C-alpha cells in the first residue's frame, strides 16, 4: 500500500502553501503564500511550513523531502520515548510505561502519518514534549522548566491550534493544584 511505503514521501494538497510560505519568508517577502494578497498572510500556522520549507528549500525538493521523512520518523521515535518517560513519571510503573511506549510505537494510525507532508506527522511530538516538559517543571518546581514548557506549548499550538486544548488543560491543572 502507498501509505506504508516509506521509500517515497506522500504529498498533500497543502505542499504548495508550505513551500511558498517558507520561500517568501526566506526571501524577505513576508510569511505569506502570496505577497500580493494581504489575506494570505495567515493561511497556515507557521511551524510546519517552516519545517517543511527548511528541508525542501534548503536541500532541494527531492533530497529535502527525503530528509523531512526521516526527520518525521525521528520525531515519532522520540515521542515513543517521551510517552515511556511520561508514564514512568505519572505511575512509577516501568512495565506499564514500556507497554504504553510500545503500543504507541506500533500504532498503525499514527505511523501512517509519517510519510505524508502534513502537520499531523509532527503533532504527536509536540504534544508529548509539552506534557513531558510540564511534568518535569512540576516535579522540579523549576521556573526554567516552566519557561521551556511555555515555549514548547507555544510551538505546539503554532503547529496545530487544536493543541491549545491540551495547553489549557495544563494551565487548569496548574491552577487547581
DSSP code for 120? G
- Backbone φ and ψ for 32, nearest 5 degrees, come out as -145, 155
Are the beta carbons of 6 and 115 closer than 8 angstroms? Answer: yes
Which ranges of the chain would DSSP assign to H, the alpha helix? 15-26, 47-59, 61-91, 94-105, 108-111, 123-140, 143-159, 164-176
The Cα 135–Cα 146 span in angstroms is 9
The Cα 18–Cα 80 span in angstroms is 27
pTM, 2 dp: 0.80
Per-residue pLDDT of the chain (177 residues; tens, 9 = 90+): 344 444 566 767 777 777 778 888 888 888 777 778 777 666 677 888 888 888 888 888 788 888 988 999 999 999 999 999 999 999 999 999 999 999 999 988 888 888 877 777 788 899 999 999 999 998 998 899 999 999 999 999 888 888 888 778 877 877 776
Amino acid at each position: 500500500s502507498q501509505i506504508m511505503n516509506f521509500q517515497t514521501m506522500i504529498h498533500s494538497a497543502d505542499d504548495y502553501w508550505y513551500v511558498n510560505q517558507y520561500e517568501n519568508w526566506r526571501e524577505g517577502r513576508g510569511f505569506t503564500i502570496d505577497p500580493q494578497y494581504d489575506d494570505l498572510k495567515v493561511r497556515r500556522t507557521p511551524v510546519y511550513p517552516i519545517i517543511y520549507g527548511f528541508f525542501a528549500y534548503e536541500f532541494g525538493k527531492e533530497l529535502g523531502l527525503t530528509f523531512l521523512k526521516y526527520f518525521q520518523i525521528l520525531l515519532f521515535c522520540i515521542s515513543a520515548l517521551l510517552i515511556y518517560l511520561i508514564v514512568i513519571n505519572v505511575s512509577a510503573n516501568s512495565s506499564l510505561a514500556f507497554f504504553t511506549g510500545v503500543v504507541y510505537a506500533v500504532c498503525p494510525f499514527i505511523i501512517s502519518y509519517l510519510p505524508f507532508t502534513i502537520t499531523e506527522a509532527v503533532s504527536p511530538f509536540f504534544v508529548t514534549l509539552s506534557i513531558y516538559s510540564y511534568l518535569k517543571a512540576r516535579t522540579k518546581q523549576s521556573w526554567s522548566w516552566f519557561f521551556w514548557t511555555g515555549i514548547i506549548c507555544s510551538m505546539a499550538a503554532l503547529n496545530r491550534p487544536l493543541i491549545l486544548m491540551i495547553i489549557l488543560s495544563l494551565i487548569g491543572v496548574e491552577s487547581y493544584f
